[in-house]
Amino acid sequence: MSITARSAGVLLHPTSLPGPFGVGDLGPAAHRWVELLARAGQSWWQVLPVGPTGYADSPYQSPSTFAGNLNLLSPESLAADGLASAADVAACELPADGPVVFADVIPRKRQLLRTAWQRFRAGPHELRAAFDAFTASEADWLDEYALFAAVKDSQGGAPWWAWPADHPPPDADADAVGAHRFGQFLFARQWAALRRHAAGLGVKLIGDLPIYVAHDSADVWANPQLFRLDAARTPTQVAGVPPDYFATTGQLWGNPLYAWETHRAERFAWWVKRVRGILKHVDLIRLDHFRGLEAYWAVPFGDPTAEHGTWQTAPGAELLAALKGQLGDLPIIAEDLGFITPEVHALRTGFGLPGMRILQFAFGGAVEPRFRPHRFTSDAVAYTGTHDNDTTAGWYAKLDAAERVDFARYAPGAADPVRALIRLAWASVAELAVCPLQDLLGLGGAARMNTPGTTSGNWTWRAPAAALAVPDWLDFLTDVTATYERAANHTPLNPEPGS
């Protein structure tokens, strides 16, 4: 599903939902959230990657591009399915407000899954047929991931290249492997229920697909031929971005790069499977670091910074053509931020993909003219900021006097700069406008989700319970969405003849 009309949405990762278990999940708060979006006329809910998290709890360093994050399992939903008792649910309880403390959440959710698996295995269960159907239909990724995850657990979480040479044996701990299969079944079941509820309210989902996968992942472990590794399965070059305004030594991501010649020879089959997999869960995909499909920054493995990389070309047009041939219309938002060349622009427009326009980049810091709203084109998604930006209140607080004057000239008379920036996004000609919930709440920099180039203090923000219980932002969002003709099922005030 592509963007077909003026519409609007909100960016909020599920872990940032409030709730009694220390982390947002797919349970009652998520269902309440989509109801609020529908009440405000929103058509879209955008999330970050929902796979298992890896290094530094980052959703962009996942041990699987196909699996779901079991920290998102709802204890209440498991209880409703007869897989958890009231005591099991109570054992997961943590402070309802405040940041996520993953060190507290993860062991509780893992114990809950073990308990659910034991209950399921203890005797006949009404979910048995559904579980068997799921394991059969998803076997092409589920089997290797469940085995990878089970062995990783048995090795104390060590990366796969540090495992003993004889691991994993074909029959490695069948019970542990089964538990991981079951966890993925439960995630898919709860996600599908949430998506059905959203769809019934007219709310669609935007997912996020990182361009690269983590080195310590089932994807690389099971498919080393698809990545640029040496004979010892060590990367020869890794991913990053060159020095720029935001990072003087560049950003060293460390992900292994693709062996594009192998992907080409296999007609991009792994990529087709990957995109088809995420489209089972969402309606539209934000493809992170889209420019890497045209050319990517390759850094020698072992370098301490990204300064000494080189640009290398990628077969983006061939890949997108293969995806289109297999999947039809490409429901993709191209994250075309950073150093964008005419070739990257041509790749995006050639396949009819909307790009991203970040309004914060128009008025402060490394200002780029293309982010000024009067320069937007309709094939764009307008954002006040993303998960990598400061909140708009935090951003505005750091503007110098000249930048504030510039902003005031562009949005004259605005008493509230945060809501003024939201209005600029919603008023623009971009087909879709999105803002993070933090901006709707007017929160400062302490509510920032991620600071690029850092590995601590990220991904932990949670909305206060009052944001969903008594949402004082709802009237504003409803009004601005209706004013700028973005409300779901909106009829234009002056429709074109024949429309």
pLDDT surpasses 50 at 495:
no
**Span 257-277, pLDDT tens digits:** 999 999 999 999 999 999 999
Non-local (6+) Cβ contacts of 230 within 8 A are 236
Of 248, 278, 284, nearest to 356 (Cα)? 284
The token pair at 87 is: 């005591």
- Which residues participate in catalysis according to the annotation? 288, 335, 388
pTM of the model as a whole: 0.96
pLDDT band at 72; cut points 50, 70, 90: very high
Distance CA(416)–CA(180), nearest Å, equals: 48
Per-residue model confidence (pLDDT) at position 48: 98
Statement: residue 491 has pLDDT above 60: no
Q: What are the structure tokens assigned to 253, written together?
A: 């991501």
Q: Are 394 and 442 in contact (CB under 8 A)?
A: no
Return the pLDDT at 170: 56
Split at pLDDT 50, 70, 90, the class of 4 is confident
Token readout for 126 is 């009404």
Edge-to-edge strands of the sheet including 380-383? 332-334, 284-287, 204-209, 44-46, 7-11, 432-436, 380-383, 355-358
Per-residue pLDDT, 396: 97
- Look at residue 490 in the predicted model and tell me its pLDDT: 58
Res 286 pLDDT > 80: yes
Please give the pLDDT value at position 117: 98
Confidence of residue 169 (pLDDT cuts 50, 70, 90): low
Q: For residues 241 and 68, what is the distance between their CA atoms, to the nearest angstrom? A: 27
| Higher-pLDDT residue of 124, 22 | 22
Q: Indicate the pairing of strand 380-383 with strand 237-241.
A: unpaired
Residue 89 CA to residue 270 CA, distance in Å, equals: 38
pLDDT value for 75? 98
In the structure encoding, which two tokens stand for residue 14, read together? 């599920």
> Has residue 123 got a pLDDT over 90?
no
Q: pLDDT tens, 414-468?
A: 899 999 999 999 999 999 999 999 999 999 999 999 998 888 999 999 999 999 8
Residue 1: its pLDDT value, please?
Answer: 52
**Quick one: the chain helix, strand, coil %, rounded to 5?**
45, 10, 45
493 has pLDDT over 60: no
Are 226 and 258 within 8 A, CB to CB? yes
Q: What is the pLDDT of residues 357-389, one digit of tens each?
A: 999 999 987 789 999 999 999 999 999 999 999
- Is the distance from CB of 269 to CB of 323 less than 8 angstroms? no
The neighbour count for residue 136, using CB atoms within 10 Å, is 9
Mean pLDDT of 243-263: 91
Which pair of tokens denotes residue 205?
Answer: 């989902």
Res. 498: pLDDT tops 80: no
DSSP state of 331: -
The per-residue pLDDT for range 24-62, each reduced to its tens digit, is 999 999 999 999 999 999 999 999 999 999 989 999 999
How many other C-beta atoms are found inside a 10 Å radius of the C-beta of residue 93? 13
With bands split at pLDDT 50, 70 and 90, how would you rate the model's confidence at 3? confident
- Two tokens at 50? 């929902």
The C-alpha torsion from 313 through 278 and 322 to 258, rounded to 10°, is 30
pLDDT at 168: 62
Average pLDDT, the chain: 94
What's CA 339's distance to the chain center, in Å?
Answer: 22
Contact assessment for residue 115 and residue 107, using Cβ atoms and an 8 Å cutoff = no
